[in-house]
Amino acid sequence: MNQAQNLLHGPEAELDAQFKVRWVDLASERVGGETLACSDDFFAEMENLLKAGRGVFIDDKFTERGKWMDGWESRRSYGRPGARSPETDFDWCIIRLGMAGVIRGFDIDTNYFRGNAPQAVVIEACHSAGQPNADTLWQTLLSKTDVRAHSQNVVAIDDERVFTHVRLKMYPDGGIARFRVYGEVAVDWHDFVDGELIDLASIKNGGQALLVSDMFYSDKNNLIMPERGKNMGDGWETRRRRDPGPDWSIIQLATLGSVEKVLVDTCHFKGNYPDTFSLEGATASDDPLAVAALRTDPAALQALDWLPIIGQTKLYAHREHLFIREILVPKEQAFSHIRLSIYPDGGVSRLRVFGKRQALA
């Protein structure tokens, strides 16, 4: 029913892998992305577009409208009375990004839409403080491009502007399982008051997990997602080691900042929480270009000058652990990256690293 299928290969597979390593999905519902409106979702709801995973197909599942589909699917309008020209006919969906940002690429995933995928898509974006309306000026980021049925369709975008909303158009009609908007979070620091303690690791503030020793069970960015983990899958879990370890994860902080309060949450990890953990920090540079180059340089990341922030400390099952007094570094010390090590292995649901945004000490 749901076997792995249509694996990408060639340059598109490379692009997909690169996006997942280098960027985050700005539109995902987990970070607050929202489908605001669409022209038609007769067969399947637009909200599915931003859900986790690639969507499933259940052979014998039908609704009173037709086949149940895990995606956004409009009714057939092509070649029907009242339809406009087949060339210009399209269905549309407007998405508010969970995090405003610079868009680096899209994945238009038509997984399981075999006989009912659209023929082509156009993607536009805008920057809007409120809800987009008739006066909104949409910028075309992807001009009309054919998409394959039942497949990921991965495209790179070269545009340095910051956007808040995206409009996905599908020609002439059809269904799309998932829609990913890969990019870099653009934080407006005016949203914080001077001296506020900010979770500098949070994905919402621009933190990003760059490199992990092991991602066997779950994604590296789960550790810095908003809210508490929903279940054990919603955390960072490594496979069972047969040596002392540790496993580790390197996170690029949202900005150069102090580390004043740390929260390690082992929520849902009951038989597989790490015995102990430690936290280190490094200060790469105050040059954003140098920090950007590190994203794709595992050796350079590992070779940073790592300073202990919290020494090896005991953890417990399914619990939030707060550390303030245990922090070994002064508040004046600024870090750009942190490394969480877990001994010997196991799962951690969330890591929060609270500090103040500051210039290099």
Ligand X SMILES: NC(=O)NC(NC(N)=O)C(=O)[O-]
CB neighbour list of residue 147: distance below 8 Å, 6 or more residues apart: 108, 110, 117, 118, 119, 120, 121, 153
Q: Does 69 bind ligand X (CB under 6 A)?
A: yes
Query: 86, 56 in Cβ contact below 8 A?
Result: no
77 Rama class: left (phi>0) / alpha (psi -120 to 50) / beta: alpha
**The only residue of 20, 22, 51, 67 in contact with ligand X, by rule CB under 6 A:** 67
Which DSSP string do the residues of 59-100 spell out, in sequence order?
A: TT-EETTEE--SSEEPPP-TTSTT---TTT--EEEEEEEEEE
Distance CA 106, CA 144 (A): 14
Instruction: Lay out the site mask for ligand X across 75-94 (x = CB under 6 A, - = otherwise).
Output: -x------------------
Q: Which of 78, 92 has the CB closer to ligand X?
A: 78
Q: Does 181 bind ligand X (CB under 6 A)?
A: no
Distance CA 118, CA 113 (A): 9
Q: Does 57 bind ligand X (CB under 6 A)?
A: no
CA dihedral over 110, 226, 333, 194, signed as positive or negative: positive
Peptide bond into 344 cis (omega under 30): yes
Neighbours of 359 (CB within 10 A): 9
Neighbours of 213 (CB within 10 A): 16
Region near ligand X per CB under 6 A, out of 20-28, 67-75, 123-131, 311-319? 67-75
Q: Does 173 bind ligand X (CB under 6 A)?
A: no
Least Cβ distance, residue 313 to ligand X (angstroms): 53
Q: Which amino acid is at 183?
A: G
What part of residues 256-285 is at the interface with ligand X (CB under 6 A)?
A: none
Region near ligand X per CB under 6 A, out of 62-70, 157-165, 246-254, 269-277? 62-70
Instruction: Lay out the site mask for ligand X across 108-147 (x = CB under 6 A, - = otherwise).
Output: --------x-------------------------------
42 Rama class: left (phi>0) / alpha (psi -120 to 50) / beta: alpha
Q: Which of 116, 349 has the CB closer to ligand X?
A: 116
Q: Using CB atoms, what's the residue nearest to ligand X?
A: 66
Q: Does 252 bind ligand X (CB under 6 A)?
A: no
Q: Does 66 bind ligand X (CB under 6 A)?
A: yes
By CB under 6 A, how many residues form the interface with ligand X? 7
Region near ligand X per CB under 6 A, out of 3-11, 68-76, 119-127, 152-160? 68-76
Region near ligand X per CB under 6 A, out of 26-34, 63-71, 151-159, 276-284? 63-71
Instruction: Lay out the site mask for ligand X across 24-43 (x = CB under 6 A, - = otherwise).
Output: -------------------x
SS3 state at 17: helix
Positions touching ligand X (CB under 6 A) are: 43, 66-67, 69, 73, 76, 116
